[in-house]
Amino acid sequence: MSTRTVLHEADIARALTRISHEILESNRGPEGLVILGIPTRGVNLAERIGALIADFGGNTVPVGALDVTMYRDDLHRNPTRAPHPTQIPAGGIDGKTVVLVDDVLFSGRSIRAALDALQDIGRPAAVRLAILVDRGHRELPIRPDFVGKNLPSAREERVNVRLADVDGVEEVTIES
């Protein structure tokens, strides 16, 4: 098995800064934004994006976590998956622009599950998708609005996102 690093710490920081600027620009400011990360690493990325938006725009943006475990269509294949807490900011999501944040977009099934989970929580005005790495191979018609890096990969390869706050190292690697 070979592993190659495709994004280093500085690359990840640059990608998150760009995504944060794009979110602010597309929303015409921070008003009405709610950022929800999909556990595990999507939550850490959402917190970073929220902090960057606060730095740029001067306003704090509500950040939370959206667990999709019980909404996944592959739960029968991986029943030992442990749910994480869903944490919706105090103002809720009704009428807000919700930005879902995840680390890697592959088949699109996690995002479909996130859309189902959102429907049970409230009714946002709009839902946007921010992804650190888009590796292609979609099985569902889901396309991100904000992408850190498009990373074409073979289906049998594995893309790993490691973040300092979770893994002690900051990098994106491909294993083949």
- Reported confidence tier of residue 75, pLDDT bands at 50, 70, 90: low
Measured CA to CA, the distance from residue 31 to residue 23 in angstroms comes to: 11
Measured CA to CA, the distance from residue 168 to residue 136 in angstroms comes to: 27
Every domain of the chain and the residues it spans: 10-73+84-155
What is the mean pLDDT of the segment spanning 115-121?
95
Measured CA to CA, the distance from residue 83 to residue 107 in angstroms comes to: 20
- HSE-up of residue 109 (Cα within 13 Å, Cβ side): 10
- Reported confidence tier of residue 161, pLDDT bands at 50, 70, 90: very high
DSSP H/E element including 102: strand 97-105
What is the mean pLDDT of the segment spanning 29-51?
96
Identify whether the C-beta of residue 73 lies closer than 8 Å to the C-beta of residue 109. yes
Q: 3.40.50.2020, 1.20.1260.10, 3.20.20.80, 3.40.190.10: which CATH number matches 10-73+84-155?
A: 3.40.50.2020
The verdict on whether omega for the bond into residue 40 sits within 30 degrees of 0, i.e. cis, is yes
What percentage of the chain carries pLDDT values higher than 90?
85
pLDDT at residue 77, rounded to an integer? 65
| Selection from 63, 51, 47, 56 nearest residue 24 by Cα | 56
pLDDT at residue 85, rounded to an integer? 87
